[in-house]
Amino acid sequence: MERRNTVQRKIILETLKRLNNHPTTEELYAEIQKGYPTISKTTVYRNLRLLTQSGLVRRVSVPDGPERYEGQPEPHYHFRCSICGGVFDVDIPVISDIDARVAQKYGFDVSGHDIMFHGVCNKCKQM
């Protein structure tokens, strides 16, 4: 399955990188519509899946809500506010040794890990 470089795909990836949120498909679609009203929602869904498979995009699964995506695929962690639902990047050093530790203890082939912190964000704290 070769992969083509369509204009839609380029716009979707560019917009995702520009937003720098962790938008849901709907949110990204809404943003894309402003500039390119002919791109369909189906195409956004489809390309986010393909781009995730290609490793150009990262999917962030959060409880109680649709999948979110980000255009920055380098490993890093996340924080989710349990009040407003917002998702933020957490840039602390990636814990390097635990993957090997889990691999050794369980025998799994560990390719990586995700960490989701939870609590209350700054905005929601002052309410």
Residues that bind DNA in the complex, under the rule CB under 7 A: 1-9, 24-26, 38-43, 45-47, 49-50, 64-67
Question: Smallest gap, in angstroms, from Cβ of residue 44 to a second copy?
Answer: 17
* Of residues 67, 72, 75, 62, the one with CA closest to residue 23: 67
Q: What is the longest distance spanned by two Cα atoms in the chain?
A: 52
| Residue 76 interacting entry, from a second copy, DNA, none, C-beta within 5 to 8 Å by type | none
Which two three-digit tokens encode residue 71? 């255009």
Contact with a second copy (CB under 8 A): which of 17, 66, 84, 114? 114
Cβ burial of 104 (10 Å; 0-12, 13-18, 19+) is: exposed
Neighbours of 58 (CB within 10 A): 20
| Residue 21 interacting entry, from a second copy, DNA, none, C-beta within 5 to 8 Å by type | none
Kindly state whether residue 54 participates in binding a second copy, applying the rule CB under 8 A. Answer: no
Kindly state whether residue 84 participates in binding a second copy, applying the rule CB under 8 A. Answer: no
Question: Smallest gap, in angstroms, from Cβ of residue 90 to a second copy?
Answer: 6
Cβ burial of 16 (10 Å; 0-12, 13-18, 19+) is: buried
Contact with a second copy (CB under 8 A): which of 73, 82, 84, 85? 82
Residue with tokens 């869904």: 45
Neighbours of 29 (CB within 10 A): 20
Contact with a second copy (CB under 8 A): which of 6, 40, 61, 72? 61
Contact with a second copy (CB under 8 A): which of 7, 74, 112, 127? 112
